[in-house]
Amino acid sequence: MDPFTDTLQRLREAFGSGRTRPAEFRAAQLRGLGRFLRENKQLLQGALAQDLHKSAFEGDVSEIIICQNEVDLALKNLHAWMKDESVAKNLFTQLDSAFIRKEPFGLVLIVAPWNYPVNLTLVPLVGALAAGNCVVLKPSEISKGTEKVLAEVLPRYLDQSCFAVVLGGPEETGQLLKHKFDYILFTGSPRVGKIIMAAATKHLTPVTLELGGKNPCYVDDDCDPQTVANRVAWFRYFNTGQTCVAPDYVLCSPEMQARLLPALQSAITRFYGEDPQSSPDLGRIINHKHFQRLRDLLSCGRVAIGGQSDESECYIAPTVLVDVQETEPVMQEEIFGPILPIMNVRGLDEAIDFINRREKPLALYAFSNSNQVVNRMLDRTSSGSFGGNEGFMYMTLSSMPLGGVGNSGMGRYHGKFSFDTFSHHRACLLSCSGLEKLNAIRYPPYSEWKQQLISWALGKQSCTLL
Amino acid sequence: MSISEVVQRARAAFNSGKARPLQFRIQQLEGLRRMIREREKDLVGALTADLHKNEWNAYYEEIVYVLEEIDYVIQKLPEWAADEPVEKTPQTQQDEPYIHSEPLGVVLVIGAWNYPFSLTIQPMVGAIAAGNAVLIKPSELSENTASLLAAVIPQYLDKDLYAVICGGIPETTEVLKERFDHILCTGSTAVGKIVMVAAAKHLTPVTLGLGGKNPCYVDKDCDLDIACRRIAWGKFMNSGQTCVGPDYILCDPSIQNQIVEKLKKSLKEFYGEDAKKSRDYGRIINCQHFQRIMGLMEGQKVAHGGAGDAATRYIAPTILMDVDPQSQVMQEEVFGPIMPIVCVRGLEEAIQFINQREKALALYVFSLNDKVIKKMIAETSSGGVTANDIMVHSTVHSLPYGGVGSSGMGSYRGWESFKTFSHRRSCLVRPLLNEESLKARYPPSPAKMPRH
């Protein structure tokens, strides 16, 4: 017995009825979502604390406020985004009306991960709703606290004929994917991304996959180690390292490493105190499985900073590893934890080669006082996004899309990019019914004189006849 | 050279960085343009051999679009390739946020046989412009065009970066095992799924230009002479083998006879009494499709045409009346010179009919009443739409060309091509100073949270 058939049928019928098309309906849904965020802020903060030991500050700054901003942006711009987009016409369509119509795809599925369980579920939801789709949300079963709030509270704020939350683990998700969706947005690992895309093939469903990778962080010799350490440490240990765009490993010279280590220690102590385990600002690993995985990584290379762990709390100290070999596990998989390995390279070119030998990451960072160094790193590599002298601050700009490339994903969203991702851009041309005489030239028979007339009229220039 | 070696060579050439400079890409596009101009005769010869196209058809239905695309892309490339600054937030006033366009790597373009030149080369133009290495796999069904491309492309373009892979299903299967950074495929839904499955193994993004049954609704309130002429032109061009051609007509029973008469009249004007003798009328690509299309006429009321000649793969322009929506001709994309007419009573029923079926690549609506057109567009979906004409939306290079649902995903043409074949990378560059202003964001967080 498939638990999803009835729900999906209901949503599909609702979409077919046209209910989600008018701007007023979409705006009402977005306002509902905004109210959900405002009225349940404490509940959500509590869920995030339960799931990830996330501080209220982190929960606000990286999840709740970001969702609120997206809702506000969508409400403010909904009409503008929905408008038909006029396009340039060619010579023969001057009297016609040519535009791009944005249409909802239909039934959208959003499969979300556990690391930013509010943000990575609701930000895509904003775009899908604004674009006029019916939406099925599949929050992660691993972040149970948040899953509960989303399943039990969120639907009360939205029109449930057009929105549903479905629950379950990998098996249920597999069952869900047998059904037809008109768009799927998935955030998670590349391994599961492949499974999702393969499943989407059955119904030729387009997908956006926000995946992961090992995000390199190049630290040039020409820089102030403390400034760099502050930034790198903050972005690394935020959410206990469980961030898809966090710097995964550092590339620097041995000389810079020697200056960076005390600076990193200083930053960590300033941020989390002498005993990070008692800091309210440091989170915990999501579950025991990941805790074990990360604890095993601690035996790679040599622990230069941190290295402590406490299984009872799924706590791992902010850690820096040195003398790491490329073949060790910590350099083979995305770390997704508060461990920062430092790899030595001699200069920018070696760093670039190192990076280019590996899969394209979701993010790439370069720290240097020299613009040339930063630009060269940008020009010679590829990644989803790029931060020069900064971590994933770009995530706060809704004017920039978030998306991967290669193994780190395909497609993008945030702000207007979400709206565009969840819309079909339909090319429309409304032709004049009259002026048929002008068209005469395009019809057969293509006699000699017609061909000559055209060639003469158009000269050497090519020109379409339509 | 094996297929694998060709792909490795293209990748090595891409990694060398030689396709990065805009000047290089423009030179290659100019080379492509020269190839078309210098070898136009050979090109036309291949298209004639494959599909019975004459110089006119070949030029105005295929070649001219590619030339136009090349000119447009060369002109716009510097603008498209430039970094695009984006709006800053209060926290990023001192920074430079922008979107940086980069090539993806090695792109595979799988062409179709019905417009074997333009459907392979037009996407290639965009892929080259975006700085990628490009492998094209022309359809083996249009074998003359395929072998011509294999012969001439290496003579005009960089041999390492751009290559032609010829062959049928075995070669396509083999090439799909390789890893690409984007695959664009034009073909049937079945082929689209095969490509997407192969792409999923490497997380390769795809653009699929597939097919469908493109509905053509003819309203009672319309100039039937003009409508039927335009419909006849779009339908029977290339003997009906056009992915954006009108597949079937929906109309009120009261105007069906008139539509048939006017279609007949236009057909006579275009192709004479016997289309078989017309220089301008195409042929079916191969025997298998010939049989398939002839089979669609079985049991149908043939209002016009119906004749076929297997030896020359000629099928007469054919119109079927009072077609039953359950019959075979309404179950698959016709892709041939048969126009089924299905009767519906009014716009509502037409919209319902259309919405009960898969989303098509193109939708056509003929009416003098703006409200009818608006309603048809608003209450249906399709890759694209032209109202009161056929196919024109697919020729405007500022409009994206692509499908939706089972008619495809992604789009290309003009700037859309450039975007499709690029990675648009979000960048934020900040000075390595001003640490003071950032201190507020670092832990430890204040005991009391400020109100928002």
Residues B292-330 pLDDT 10s:
999 999 999 999 999 999 999 999 999 999 999 999 999
Cα torsion through B62, B63, B64, B67, rounded to 10: 130
Contact across the interface for B428 and A390, Cβ inside 8 Å: yes
Show which of residues 169-208 on chain B sit within 8 Å of chain A, judged by CB atoms. 181, 189, 192-193, 196-197, 199-201, 203, 205, 208
> For A425, which of B400, B424, B435 is closest by C-beta distance?
B400
Total length of chain B: 452
Q: Do B396 and A427 touch (CB under 8 A)?
A: yes
At A307-339, the pLDDT tens digits run 999 999 999 999 999 999 999 999 999 999 999
Nearest residue of B to residue A104, measured between CA atoms = B381
**Min distance B310 CA to chain A CA atoms (Å):** 24
pLDDT tens, residue by residue, B232-242 = 999 999 999 99
Catalytic residues of A: 210
Q: B203, A194: Cβ pair inside 8 Å?
A: yes
Query: How many C-beta neighbours within 10 Å does residue A19 have?
Result: 15
**For A83-143, where are the alpha helices, taking DSSP H only?**
119-130
Rounded distance between C-alpha atoms, residue B330 and residue B188, angstroms: 16
* Closest-CA distance of chain B to residue A68, Å: 11
Which of chain A's residues have a Cβ under 8 Å away from the Cβ of B196? Answer: 197, 200-201, 204
Is residue A459 predicted with pLDDT exceeding 50?
no
For residue A25, count other CB atoms closer than 10 A to its CB: 16
Arithmetic mean of pLDDT, A380-384 = 97
Q: How far apart are the CA of A325 and the nearest CA of chain B, in angstroms?
A: 25
The answer to whether residue B438 neighbours chain A at the CB level (below 8 Å) is yes
Of the candidates B63, B100, B449, the beta carbon closest to that of A378 is on B100
- pLDDT at residue B431, as a whole number: 84
Chain A residues with CB inside 8 Å of B99's CB?
400-401
Strand partners, A289: none
**Residue A133 contacts residue A4 (beta carbons within 8 Å):** no
How far apart (Å, rounded) are the C-alpha atoms in residues B231 and B218?
10
pLDDT digits (tens, 9 = 90+) for A104-123: 999 999 999 999 999 999 99
**Identity of residue B219:** D
- Provide φ and ψ at A182, rounded to 5°: -100, -10
B308-309 and B96-103 strand pairing: unpaired
**Residue A223 φ/ψ region, left for φ over 0, alpha for ψ in the -120 to 50 degree band, beta for the rest:** beta
Residue range A289-304: mean pLDDT, rounded: 97
| Phi, psi angle pair for A165, to nearest 5° | -110, 130
Handedness of CA B353, B355, B361, B367 (dihedral sign): positive
Q: Are B148 and B44 in contact (CB under 8 A)?
A: no
AA identity, residue A68: Q
CA A156 – CA A140 distance, rounded (Å): 20
- Of A271, A388, A429, Cβ closest to residue B428: A388
Q: What percent of chain A has pLDDT over 90?
A: 87
For residue A377, what are the CA distances in angstroms to A112, A369, A374, B96?
32, 13, 5, 16
Q: Which residues pair with A137 in a beta bridge?
A: A110, A165
B449 and A466 in contact by Cβ < 8 A? no
d(CA A119, CA A242): 14
The pLDDT of A129-150, averaged and rounded, is: 98
Chain B residues with CB inside 8 Å of A383's CB? 425
| pLDDT tier for residue A371 given thresholds of 50, 70 and 90 | very high
Per-residue DSSP letter, B130:
T
d(CA A165, nearest CA chain B) in Å: 23
Residue type, A390: E
Q: How many Å apart are CA B241 and CA B336, to the nearest integer?
A: 5
Question: Of B1 and B135, which is predicted with more confidence?
Answer: B135
| Dihedral sign, Cα of residue B351, residue B354, residue B360, residue B364 | negative
- A427/B432 CB distance under 8 A: no
Q: B365: which residues sit within 8 A by CB, 6+ positions away?
A: B216, B217, B219, B372, B373, B376, B377, B385, B387, B388
**What is the per-residue pLDDT for A460?**
41
Min distance B412 CA to chain A CA atoms (Å): 11
* ∠ CA A257-A259-A263, rounded to 5°: 105
Please return the burial class of A450, using the count of CB atoms within 10 Å of its CB with bins 0-12, 13-18 and 19+.
Answer: middle
Chain B, 102 to 141: residues with Cβ < 8 Å from chain A are 102, 104-105
pLDDT at B447 > cutoff 70: no
Tell me the C-alpha to C-alpha distance, in Å, between residue B305 and each of A212, B321, B329, B340, B390. 59, 12, 16, 12, 22
3-class DSSP state for residue B271?
Answer: helix
Q: Whole-angstrom Cα distance, residue A103 to residue B381?
A: 8
Among B105, B210, B373, the residue with its CB nearest the CB of A430 is: B373
* Residues B427, B66: Cα–Cα separation, whole Å: 33
The Cα A390–Cα A20 span in angstroms is 40
Q: Which helix (H) or strand (E) holds B208?
A: strand B206-209
3-state secondary structure of B102: strand
Query: To the nearest whole angstrom, how far is the Cα of A105 from the nearest Cα of chain B?
Result: 8
B91: left (phi over 0), alpha (psi -120 to 50) or beta: alpha
As given in the structure block, the two tokens for residue B428 are 């934020």
Q: Identify the H or E element spanning B11.
A: helix B3-15
Mean pLDDT calculated for residue range B212-233? 96
Contacts of B280 in chain A (CB under 8 A): 444-446
Cα distance between residue A20 and residue B261, in whole Å: 42
Q: Is the CB of A279 less than 8 angstroms away from the CB of B435? A: no
pLDDT, greater one: B203 or B438: B203
pLDDT given at position A451: 67
Give residue A464's pLDDT: 52
| pLDDT score, position A433 | 66
pLDDT at A103 > cutoff 80: yes
Residue B375, chain A, CB below 8 Å: the answer is: no
Cβ–Cβ < 8 Å for B130, B417: yes
Interface test with B, best of A58, A399, A450 (most B CBs within 10 A): A399
Closest partner CB to A443 (pick from B193, B233, B432): B233
Over chain A, what is the mean pLDDT? 94
Is any Cβ of chain A less than 8 angstroms from the Cβ of B395?
Answer: yes
Shortest distance, CA B332 to any CA of chain A (angstroms): 17
Residues of B in contact with A372 (CB under 8 A): none
| Residue ranges of B 315-374 with Cβ closer than 8 A to chain A | 355, 368, 373
Q: Which pLDDT band holds residue A347 (cuts at 50, 70, 90)?
A: very high
- A:B CB pairs within 8 Å: 293
Residue range A416-452, pLDDT digits in tens: 999 999 999 999 999 876 667 667 778 888 777 666 6
Q: Do B423 and A405 touch (CB under 8 A)?
A: yes
Distance from CA of A427 to the nearest CA of B (A): 4
Biggest alpha carbon–alpha carbon distance for chain B: 90
Instruction: Indicate the average pLDDT of chain B.
Output: 95
| Res. A295: pLDDT tops 50 | yes
Interface test with B, best of A38, A68, A464 (most B CBs within 10 A): A464
């002839």: which residue's tokens?
B294
- Region B48-54: what's the mean pLDDT? 93
> B231: nearest CA in chain A?
A443
Q: What is the pLDDT of residue B452?
A: 43
CA angle B12, B15, B17 (to 5 degrees): 125
Across the range B58-80, mean pLDDT stands at 95
Which of A93, A282, A390 is the closest to B392 by Cβ? A93
Contact B392 A405 (CB under 8 A): no
How far CA B129 is from CA of A57, B134, B135, B360, in Å, comes to 46, 10, 14, 29
Q: Which residue has the tokens 């070649």?
A: B63
Residue pLDDT, tens place only, B253-288? 999 999 999 999 999 999 999 999 999 999 999 999
Q: Which of residues 68-87 of B touch A (CB under 8 A)?
A: 68, 71, 86-87
- The answer to whether the Cβ–Cβ distance between A429 and B387 falls below 8 Å is yes
Within 10 angstroms of residue A270's Cβ, the number of other Cβ atoms is 14
Q: What is the ipTM of this complex?
A: 0.94
What's the angle, vertex CA A3, arms to CA B407 and CA A18, rounded to 5?
45
Whether the predicted pLDDT of B24 surpasses 60: yes
User: Is the model's pLDDT at B366 over the cut of 90?
Assistant: yes
